[in-house]
Structure 1
Amino acid sequence: MPSSSRPLPLVQLLLCGALVVTLSMGIRHAFGLWLQPITMAHGWSREDFSLALALQNLVWGAAGPFVGWWADRGGAFKALWAGGILYALGLFGMATTTEHLPFLLTTGVTIGLAQACCTYSVIYGIIGRNISAQQRSWAMGITAAAGSFGQFLMVPLASTLLHRMDWSAALMALALSALLIGPIAFGLREAPEAAPNASAPPPQPASAALRDAFGHRDFLLLTAGYFVCGFQVAFIGIHLPSYLKDQQLGPEVATTALALIGLFNVIGTYAAGALGQRLRKNWILSGIYLTRAVVMIVFISLPLSPLSVGVFAAVMGTLWLSTVPPTNAVVAQMHGVRHLSMLGGIVFFSHQIGSFMGVWLAGRLYDATGSYQVVWWLAIALGVVASALNFPIREHQTPVPRTVTL
């Protein structure tokens, strides 16, 4: 949907967008806590659980460009409602299925489709259409920080639910919270687009935008680098609790670590969005990926303790989703905001292919070797590659900025 003549009020836009991302991303970040309860209850291997989460990431990414096209064309309101309903249905299925195939269809496919409808690509499309170029990176940082706060809020909540009730009942409680996404979407409902100016050039069709993007070297470099982000965060987010338990650390250490990642990610994503207004965004991305690699080397080289895990979680948290605001802001600079949800969804598909590989491969290699060591070193090497891919990207100026009403 092209920019309407009546942009959404800034405070309303950021508040409702933040609430949607808090719920959708907060629930997702807690899934690693269910790895051992579900595998033990059903007699599955870690690879069985990992495959469902990997499929979820893949479906989320594959559906993203199509959902983005739908949201760009007609507004995000219907997509957000669909996301809330699908999320609740998928969590219900995750709680009640006992066979692996239905588990893959609910936890993998249904929740993956839900996440495509109510996470960053759709919300950033709304921001792009309603926020000026001067404020866009900052606004995207605010929204990404909300997703981080969702992790800080929802992971301890999920852990508390797991301690106070059966694991399936805890998932049911999360399903009810996912239904709140639909009502919040009323605050993100955009006005119908203004009548086109007869003298203005016709808007670029989606097919032309796709051709331009795939013929753009810097877009392809950005997309390739985002694969690494998905690999790293999915591996750590899902497998860190089990890695720590294997090292004889208590479950409270993993819960604290995931919560710290969420808390410090609030700082990191906001800082990345704010810095994107002043520094070259590709340099910010290159630095994030290289720093992640260094942090992981230090973490696996030192003796594990609750303190070292906490420090690792805090530092990694500042780097966790800090790639999201500059990545989407670069896409907007390259290709404008008319097809931002669709093109952002394509870049995010690469991220989710990486997420699929990070979650599934970690489970597969653990079952084969009894250790996560190979996956840690693979994540480190990929971080160096992503840093090199992002460094030469050239940024491009956006069209004339729009004003924002308060």
Structure 2
Amino acid sequence: MTQVLLCGALIVTLSMGVRHGFGLWLQPITQARDWSRESFALALAVQNLSWGLVGIVAGMLADRYGALRVLIAGAVLYALGLWGMAQSTTPLGFALTTGVLIGAAQAGTTYAVIYGVIGRNVPPERRSWAMGVAAAAGSFGQFLMVPVEGWLITTLGWQRSLWALALAVLLIIPLAWGLRERRAHAGGVRGEQSILQALREALAYPSFRLLMAGYFVCGFQVVFIGVHMPSYLKDHGLSPQVASYALALIGLFNVLGTYAAGALGQRLAKRHILAFIYLARSVAISVFLLLPLTPASVYVFAAVMGVLWLSTVPPTNAAVAQIFGVAHLSMLGGFVFFSHQIGSFMGVWLGGLLYDRTGSYDIVWWIAIALGIVAALVNLRVNEQPIRRSLPRVQAAA
């Protein structure tokens, strides 16, 4: 279990750490290429959609064949995508590399695949805690990597810094060997359900759809803030360093938030944890918009949002495992995460579109507040009890 947690945490640290800094490239790339912010935002929106779509397939493959092959393929795609991000000279090429390639790479190197391995190798009484550890690692990656990426852009330039990151993500390949599973684990629990049966069962279950709805809101909020907040702050006269420090603070405090959410998920109802997180986000954003914008207010907001940032991940995935079991956890987690990525697409794309149309991000901020309230109410209705199955019926259907 220790090896699984260590290697999984390091992979998530690297993969999520790189992606959390993409907002730092918005202004350098759009200014160098003479593109609109909508062009950059659309590519990242495509990235999130690609991540969600490919994540379903990646989860199915990881459940059936184990995570190793999926992680290696994801690392190679990640390196190719970052190289293409640096080389693209047209919005279409940028959308294909930064969007499609990197999105597919993230599907194979982040939570759905890693959580499937954790779910199959960690006892149920420690599963939520272990997922919190992995999510905290992704947050630490943000704290670690965002300042590094800002420093790389300053010292090497925006293009060469992407080349350096392309080499760095290849470190995922040797780490993936630490997640190689025995065939009994890699194949999940055979004989209970086929992939199609598991999917039909989940999609027909109201609580699964409610978790998907909440995760849509999570994606909308965090990706809009992560990508557009650096430009929002610069538009209001704050230095780029304030944005870098703010994103780093989000990552630092999210280490605490995700770990706490995972640990609390062993003792408290996961629906209550999720409802609190979404409502607290709406309150934090509202206060941030109403107070005067200063470096101090930005840092306080970043710290508060950091505690809430990815803290939805452990209780959401632990709830899926608790309801449906772990045999198809990567695949079901991929479907829930696809909803998250649709929200991410909408958040990042609307941010760029409405900014170009109105010259302000205000409308999207208030949409994020309203969605947070809706998500809090939705998650309160989730039934976390393990689903009751008729085993003879499943076997007959098989």
Q: TM-score range by the shorter chain?
A: over 0.9
Q: Which string of whole-angstrom CA distances, capped at 9 and with x for unpartnered residues, describes residues 332-359 of structure 1? A: 0111000000000000000000000000
Q: Which of residues 75, 92, 116 is equivalent to 2:107? A: 116
- Give the Cα–Cα distance (whole angstroms) in 2 for the partners of residues 142 and 131 of structure 1: 12
The answer for the alignment partner of 1:233 in structure 2 is 222
Instruction: Please tell me whether residue 25 in structure 1 is matched to residue 16 in structure 2.
Output: yes
2:71 corresponds to 1:55: no
Cα deviation, residue 202, structure 1: 2.2
DSSP-derived class of the 1:210 partner: helix
Work out which of the residue numbers 309, 318, 321 in structure 2 matches 1:329: 318
Tell me the equivalent position of 2:128: 137
Mapped contact 2:43–2:95 kept (Cα < 8 A): yes
Determine if the alignment matches structure 1 residue 94 to structure 2 residue 52. no
Query: 1:174 aligned to 165, 168, 174, which one?
Result: 165
Structure 1: 5+ residue stretches without partners: 1-9, 400-406
1:133 touches 1:398 (CA, 8 Å); kept in 2?
A: no
Q: CA deviation at 1:166?
A: 1.5
Q: For residue 376 of structure 1, what is the aligned residue in structure 2?
A: 365
Shift of 1:397: 3.8
In the aligned structure 1, how far is the partner of 2:387 from the partner of 2:14? 31
Q: Which residue of 2 aligns with 1:346?
A: 335
TM-superposition CA deviations, 1:240-297 (whole Å, max 9, x none): 0000000000011000000000000000000000000000001100000000000000
Q: Secondary structure at the match of 1:68?
A: helix
Q: Which runs of 4+ in 1 moved over 2 A?
A: 200-203
Give the C-alpha shift of residue 97 in structure 1.
Answer: 1.1
Q: Is the 8 A contact 1:148 1:321 kept in 2?
A: yes
Letter in 2 for 1:268: G
Q: Which amino acid aligns with 2:173?
A: G
Q: Counterparts of 2:284 and 2:203 in 1: how far apart (Å)?
A: 33
Q: After superposition, what is the alpha-carbon deviation per residue over 1:22-47, rounded to whole angstroms, capped at 9, x for unaligned?
A: 01000000000000000000000000
1:67-115 CA distance string (max 9 Å, x none): 1000000000000000110000000000011111111110000000000
Q: 1:223 aligns to what?
A: 212
- Alpha-carbon distance in 2 for matches of 1:176, 1:201: 38
1:202-221 alignment, distance < 5 Å: 202-221=191-210
Distance 1:19 1:202 in 2: 33
CA–CA separation in structure 2 for the residues paired with 1:117 and 1:194? 18
1:149 and 2:140 are equivalent in the alignment? yes
Distance apart, 1:362 and its partner CA: 0.5
Percent pairwise identity: 65
**Amino acid across the alignment from 1:29:** H
Name the amino acid aligned to 1:368: R
On the 8 A contact 1:21/1:143 being kept in 2, the answer is yes
TM-score by length of 1: 0.94
For residue 394 of structure 1, give the secondary structure of its aligned residue in structure 2: coil
Deviation at 1:398, TM superposition (A): 8.3
- Larger relative helix fraction: 2
2:258 aligned residue = 269
The amino acid of 1:111's aligned partner reads: I
| Structure 2 letter corresponding to 1:62 | L
Matched, 1:255 2:211: no
TM-score, normalised via structure 2 length: 0.96
Following superposition, the deviation at residue 188 of structure 1 comes to: 0.5
Match of residue 7 from structure 1 = none
Amino acid at match of 1:112: G
Counterpart-to-counterpart distance in 1, 2:161 and 2:348: 23
Deviation at 1:195, TM superposition (A): 12
Residue ranges of structure 2 left out of the alignment (5+ in a row)? 389-398
Provide the secondary structure at the position in 1 that maps to 2:183: coil
Distance 1:329 1:96, change over 3 A: same
Contact 2:62–2:186 (CA under 8 A) maintained in structure 1: no
Q: How has the CA–CA distance of structure 1 residues 325 and 35 changed in structure 2, closer, same or farther, with 3 Å as cutoff? A: same
Q: Are the counterparts in 1 of residues 324 and 386 from structure 2 also a CA contact under 8 Å? A: no
Matches within 5 A, 1:356-367: 356-367=345-356
Cα pair 1:334 1:395 within 8 Å, conserved: yes
Determine if contact 2:79/2:167 at 8 Å carries over to the other structure: yes
Letter in 2 for 1:55: V
Q: CA RMSD in A?
A: 1.4
Q: Distance in 1 between matches of 2:16 and 2:145?
A: 9
| 8 Å CA contact retained: 1:269, 1:318 | yes
Say how many residue pairs are matched: 387
CA distance in 2, matches of 1:237, 1:218: 28
Alignment of structure 1 residues 68-87 onto 2, 5 Å: 68-87=59-78
* SS class of match (1:396): coil
Cα 1:194–1:277, aligned 2, differ >3 Å: closer, same or farther? closer
Paired letter, 1:234 = V
